Amino acid sequence: MFDRNRFARFLLAAIFAGAAQLPAQNRTADSALGQRWVAAELRLARLKAEAAHRDSIVNSNAPPQEIAEDVITIHYDSTLIGRATVAVLRSAARSAAREIRAVQGDGATRTIGSIQFVALPTRHDGDPRRYVRLRPIGSTVGLSETIAPMSGLESPFRKYFLDIAAAQATGVADPSLSSWVNPVLPPNKKSQEDWTEVAGWVLGAQSETVKRCINGSALSCGAVLGLEAHDDKLAAFYGPSDYPPLVEAYGVQKNDPENVATAMNRCIRSADDTACEQMIRRIPIGDPIPAQSRLSLVAIALERGGLGAADRYLAATGTIRDRLAAASGMPTDTLLLLWRDRVLASRPSHNITGAALAGLGWSLALLLIAMRRPKCG
């Protein structure tokens, strides 16, 4: 009779005997693998120690050196951050502080001026370059860090400071203000390119209310900039003439039945009132221009209000209109019409003069050649 236990003992003995006779190179490979494992553990321990050292600097109240540029202070350790990187950070801080002051005035002391930053070296996995990690000291709520290459461009750090200043202003603002626009203050002064972008949004909007604003209605401008809440955006911003392009922009959806597609086509191609009324109720209705365009109105208010405008804007109570009036020192309807004028003055220009003149020049040249061509016969 077959003895299973005896067979199992025989099989195990054979396996162990075979293992004892493995070639020497396999044992050497196992040894090399163990050495690499130990080296990896040592490297991991070293990286953890470096991270702990950096974290201790972050949580320290007085890192060894600092860069102080007006409302921006950066702490760093000169044994970790080189001179070239310090120069980049200093230039970025100086440029950003100047821009933040231009927008926030004395209010910048309460926003970004209340934060201390620390710069630390760091690396990305698989990237041989060294990076700088810039972050706030302590547990400042809602603020994150930024990482950029060492001794590189200052623009990532400059943008970081501008965004932090705007975020801090939003943090101290009344929630009703931040629900209207976020951030509540522009990160920097609006450039001509910024205004051209806003003008593109406004002049390209398919909305009867926007058209009335362009034609000089302050009330309509206030509506499209969200100064009052609207439960029915369709009624607030759009009219029957807007329905066909709105329906066309939404289009026929994948699971729409055939009768819906037919009605949509009637609305788009024939502006059929009944079809458009039916189809406009099926599509999501949003604001005619992006909410970020509201920052351009804030920019006008700060510009007109001058010294202390940002502080008055943040400290005022009441409606958004009241806050804008407090910041600008003028009635909100007047401010809205100034905004409208700035938008119209910033409309995108299509400079075709050069091309037109070049084409005219070529036409004249060809005409002269034709006139000078000898006649045959």
Rounded average pLDDT over 67-84: 93
Which residue carries 């365009």 as its tokens? 293
| Sign of the C-alpha dihedral computed for residues 137, 140, 146 and 147 taken in this order | positive
Rounded average pLDDT over 120-142: 80
Q: For 179-192, how does the pLDDT look when each residue is reduced to its tens digit (9 = 90+)?
A: 999 999 999 999 99
CA distance 234 to 242: 10
Q: For 310-347, how does the pLDDT look when each residue is reduced to its tens digit (9 = 90+)?
A: 999 999 999 999 999 999 999 999 999 999 999 999 99
Query: DSSP assignment of 44-101, as one string?
Result: HHHHHHHHHHHHHHHT-S--SEEEEETTEEEEE-TTTS-HHHHHHHHHHHHHHHHHHH
CA distance 35 to 83: 39
Is it the case that residue 100 has pLDDT exceeding 50? Answer: yes
SS3 call for 116: strand
Is it the case that residue 156 has pLDDT exceeding 70? Answer: yes
Is it the case that residue 50 has pLDDT exceeding 80? Answer: no
Q: Could you give the residue ranges of the DSSP H alpha helices within the chain? A: 4-20, 24-58, 83-104, 155-172, 175-180, 192-203, 208-214, 218-224, 233-237, 243-250, 258-270, 273-280, 294-305, 309-315, 320-328, 332-345, 353-372
Integer-rounded Cα Rg, in Å, for the chain is 34
Residue 127 is predicted with a pLDDT of 79
Is it the case that residue 214 has pLDDT exceeding 80? Answer: yes
Rounded average pLDDT over 225-242: 93
Report the alpha-carbon angle 202-203-206, nearest 5.
85
133: left (phi over 0), alpha (psi -120 to 50) or beta: beta
Which residue carries 């050069």 as its tokens? 354
pTM: 0.73
Q: Which residues share a beta bridge with 147?
A: 133
Residue 84 is predicted with a pLDDT of 92
Residue 45 is predicted with a pLDDT of 64
DSSP annotation of 329: T
* Residue 165, C-beta contacts closer than 8 angstroms, at least 6 positions apart: 71, 96, 100, 103, 104, 108, 111, 112, 185, 187
Residue 21 is predicted with a pLDDT of 53
